[in-house]
Chains A and B, each alone.
Chain A
Amino acid sequence: MAEKVLMKGNEALAEAAICAGCHHFFGYPITPQTELAAYMAKKMPKIGGTYLQAESELASINMVLGAAAAGVRAMTSTSSPGLSLMTEGISYIAGCDLPALIVNVQRGGPGLGGIQPSQADYYQATKATGHGDFQLIVLAPSTVQEMVDMVFLAFELGEKYRMPAMLFSDGLLGQMMEPVVLPEPGQVKIADKPWAVTGHGGKRFHNIINSLYLEPDLLEKTVRERYERYAAVERDEQRCEEFMVDDADIVLVAYGASSRICRSAVVSARAEGIKVGLIRPITVWPFPNDAIKKAATHAKAFLSVEMSMGQMIDDIRLALNGSVPAYFYGRTGGMIPSPAEVLGEIKKIKEGM
Chain B
Amino acid sequence: MRTDLNLVLAGFGGQGLLFAGKVTAYAGLVEGREISWLPSYGPEMRGGTANCSVCVSDEPIGSPLVLTPNALIAMNLPSFDKFIDTVVPGGVALIDSTMVSAKTNRTDITAIYVPATKLADDNGLSGLANIILLGRLYKELGFCSEEALDKGLAKCVPASKAAMLDANRKALKLGMEQP
The listed residue (A172, A175, A177, A265) touching B22 by CB distance below 8 A is A177
The listed residue (A115, A172, A262, A338) touching B42 by CB distance below 8 A is A115
Q: Which of B59-67, B117-125, B167-175 contacts A (4 or more CB under 8 A)?
A: B59-67
Nearest chain B CB to A256 CB, angstrom units: 12
Query: Which residues of chain B have C-beta atoms less than 8 A from A336's C-beta?
Result: 63, 65
* Structural contact, A176 and B63, CB atoms closer than 8 A: no
Docked complex: B25-46 residues within 8 A CB-CB of A: 25-26, 29, 34-39, 41-42
Q: How far is the CA of A338 from the CA of B86 in the complex (A)?
A: 14
- Interface 0/1 of A232-264, CB less than 8 Å to B: 000000000000000000000000000011111
Q: How far is the CA of A243 from the CA of B88 in the complex (A)?
A: 28
The listed residue (A32, A179, A265) touching B41 by CB distance below 8 A is A32
* Structural contact, A175 and B39, CB atoms closer than 8 A: yes
Interface size bucket, B side? 20 to 34
The listed residue (B42, B60, B63) touching A339 by CB distance below 8 A is B63
Docked complex: A153-201 residues within 8 A CB-CB of B: 171-172, 175-179
Max chain B Cβ within 10 angstroms of own Cβ: one of A171, A178, A267, A339: A178
* Structural contact, B37 and A260, CB atoms closer than 8 A: no
Docked complex: B1-28 residues within 8 A CB-CB of A: 22, 25-26
The listed residue (B25, B38, B39, B42) touching A6 by CB distance below 8 A is B25
Query: Which residues of chain B have C-beta atoms less than 8 A from A4's C-beta?
Result: 29
How many interface contacts (CB-CB < 8 Å) are there between A and B?
60
The listed residue (A115, A175, A264) touching B62 by CB distance below 8 A is A264
Query: Which residues of chain A have C-beta atoms less than 8 A from B25's C-beta?
Result: 6, 177
Q: How far is the CA of A115 from the CA of B43 in the complex (A)?
A: 9
| A4-B29, A177-B25, A178-B35 known; A171-B63 Cβ under 8 A | no
Q: How far is the CA of A262 from the CA of B62 in the complex (A)?
A: 8
* Structural contact, B38 and A175, CB atoms closer than 8 A: yes
Q: How far is the CA of A338 from the CA of B62 in the complex (A)?
A: 10
* Structural contact, A6 and B62, CB atoms closer than 8 A: no
* Structural contact, B35 and A260, CB atoms closer than 8 A: no
* Structural contact, A176 and B42, CB atoms closer than 8 A: no
* Structural contact, B60 and A177, CB atoms closer than 8 A: no
| A6-B22, A178-B36, A260-B62 known; A338-B67 Cβ under 8 A | yes
* Structural contact, B41 and A176, CB atoms closer than 8 A: no
Check: A84 CB closer than 8 A to any chain B CB: no
Q: How far is the CA of A179 from the CA of B32 in the complex (A)?
A: 10
* Structural contact, A31 and B42, CB atoms closer than 8 A: yes
Query: Which residues of chain A have C-beta atoms less than 8 A from B35's C-beta?
Result: 6, 178-179
Known interface pairs A115-B41, A178-B36; 6 further A-B residue pairs with C-beta atoms within 8 A, sorted by A's residue number: A6-B22, A176-B39, A178-B64, A260-B63, A261-B62, A262-B62
Binding site for B on A (CB under 8 A): 4, 6, 31-32, 115-116, 171-172, 175-179, 260-265, 267, 336, 338-339
A-B contact pairs, 7 of them (CB 8 A): A6-B29, A115-B41, A172-B65, A177-B22, A179-B35, A260-B62, A339-B62
